[in-house]
Structure 1
Amino acid sequence: MFRAIAASVLLCVSSLASAQWQIDNDSSTVNFISIKNDLVAETHSFGSLAGHIGDDGAVELAIDLDSVETLIPIRNERMRELLFETRQYPTASVSAQVDPAMIASALAGDVLATTVQVGLSLHGQDALVEVPVQVSAQAGAFISVVSTRPVIINAANFGLDGGIVALREIAGLNAIASAVPVTLNLRFVPDGR
């Protein structure tokens, strides 16, 4: 009897691991911190994310840059127009490949810490970025991927340094940091939910 139950559980977890998982936008966040005049740090986020984890472990995430939220409407507008230039570059794209066995392990109850190499496409520039994450899951309900420390994105690597200068000048600031810490807390749910 026990063997039959264990086999059923393993079969269920295995089939869930091979399913496609869609991002739950309402339960997911990508945050970044800006620092102005070397003293004031503020947390910002993006409100619209789309993406999935495929049955082969391929991860795709699109961040709608027009959804930037700084809690100040004029600053949102300036970031869209001067920094991200969303008319020309509306999204940031993230892609990665993870081992499907890692997903199966998380769905079986393991909490895994790993570093994932992701491709980041932002403002017409592409780069590889290492992202330390913790992966956990509730079988059949969701997969959680959380950064374990901030990832530092350098604006100059993505051609955003001119936008930072424009923001600094229009806001009358002495400085805006060009190295930006980014954190993520992503939740993926089974496709079709």
Structure 2
Amino acid sequence: MTINCLRPVHIAFMIMSLLCAPALAQSDGPFGAGWQLDAENSRIGFQSIKNQTKVEQSSFATLTGAIDGNGSAEIRIALDSVDTKVDLRNVRMRFLFFESFKYPEAIVKARLSPRLVDELRAERRKVITLPVTLDLHGVTKSIEAQLALTLLDDTRVSVATYEPISIDLAAFDLMGGLKKLEEAAGVTIIPSTSVNFDIVFAALDSSAPAPTSEPVPVASAALEPEGDFSKEACVGRFEILSRTGNIYFATSSAQLSNESVPLLANVVDIVSRCPDLKVQVIGHTDSYGSARANQSLSERRAASVVAFLAAKGITASRVQSLGYGETKPIAPNTTAEGRQKNRRIEFAPVAAE
């Protein structure tokens, strides 16, 4: 009769296996003390297609995220950190498409099952379909993501797209921004994008602070030169600011709406960083009403913007207000859309004396 016994070396091996189990399953729960996003080793990118055939890849430079001890996951993407590898293209994306001065972040949330931890420990790599919510441009939608989870080592896990995630721009109220991009760049852009990512989370031990995905300070996230801009960068930025359409007034009034403040705060920053240029603030109206009234209204609206800039520290000699009333339309005044485009504030840089 043969008797199978556990030899001392086998017992030692079992004990060591338990002691060295991955940090993904600490004694305080399947998710342990939580996981923190490792931004240095993580990437989120998206693809756009211009003129039907030209494919461009872009990414975001600033990410934060965490998974807490209950399996609730959150990733925050600083939209001002969009990186197309071209400075003015970044600025167009920020101001015209994402409108990051109003919507500084995209937020992704999901709930992970505790069962995934045990399965991942056993299989090391697992492909799952996970429902997530995406908060983008003031709209929150539920979408499904097919993800590949890979246990990199005892304390790190990768969460990556197994298949690109398709985003319908219309569903997130981004078609207006897309049209502005097309007009600014003189291209056509397919109205959907595909997102891909590879996010690394590092497990925290029980002595570490609780994981956090606090909002990113947007001012520190922008990928652009520090200090003063070059003349080319200034001229390009003022042209882009003139296309935003995010300076608002009440009907037949020169009183700035509070909705205008986020964009105007960015105008203050750009004017401050273009010390070799003066800026003309130019008001325009549609053709509704008399030409004389529209001329006066355009002048008063431009003056209100100049007054805002002056109140924020821009020297009066750096800015000048002008009004052209209804005389320089950029769209037909026969439609509501055309009239809205014609009611605008433009910024024209001129060389300082």
Shorter-chain TM range is over 0.9
Which residue matches 2:191? 178
Q: CA deviation at 1:172?
A: 1.1
User: Which has more radius of gyration?
Assistant: 2
* Structure with more strand by fraction: 1
Deviation string, structure 1 residues 8-40 (Cα, Å, up to 9, x no partner)? 344855207322111111111111001111010
Q: Output the TM-score relative to the length of structure 2.
A: 0.52
> What's the CA shift for 1:56?
1.0
Cα distance per residue 1:42-101 (max 9 Å; x no partner): 000001100011111110000000000001110100000000001110000000001123
CA shift, 1:190, in A, is 2.4
Q: 1:94 corresponds to which residue?
A: 108
77-86 or 14-23: which moved more?
A: 14-23
Q: Which residue number corresponds to residue 329 of structure 2?
A: none
1:189, CA displacement in angstroms? 1.0
Superposition CA RMSD, Å: 1.9
How many residues end up aligned between the 2 structures?
Answer: 192
Q: How far apart in 2 are the matches of 1:150 and 1:189?
A: 24
Residues 100-119 of structure 1 aligned to structure 2 (within 5 Å) = 100-108=114-122, 110-119=124-133
Kept in 2: contact 1:107–1:139 (CA 8 A):
no
Quick one: distance in 2 between partners of 1:138 and 1:107? 10
- Report whether the alignment pairs 1:5 with 2:20: no
**Structure 1 range deviating more: 15-24 or 80-89:** 15-24
Whole-angstrom distance in 2 between the partners of 1:138 and 1:150? 21
Tell me, yes or no, if the aligned pair for 1:96 and 1:118 is still in contact at 8 Å. Answer: yes
In structure 1, C-alpha distance between the alignment counterparts of 2:106 and 2:118, rounded to whole Å: 28
Give identity over the alignment, percent.
33
Which of 74, 82, 86 matches 1:60?
74
Greater CA drift, 12-21 or 54-63: 12-21
Q: Is the 8 A contact 1:13 1:108 kept in 2?
A: no
Question: Match of 2:116, SS?
Answer: helix
Q: Do the aligned partners of residues 77 and 59 (structure 1) sit closer, same or farther apart at CA in structure 2, a change above 3 Å counting?
A: same
Aligned counterpart, 2:96: 82
Contact 1:109–1:138 (Cα < 8 Å) also in 2: no
Structure 1, unaligned runs of 5 or more: none
- Structure 2: segments with no counterpart, 5+ residues: 1-10, 210-353
Secondary structure of residue in 2 paired with 1:17: coil
Q: Give matches, 1:14-25, under 5 Å.
A: 14-15=25-26, 17-25=31-39
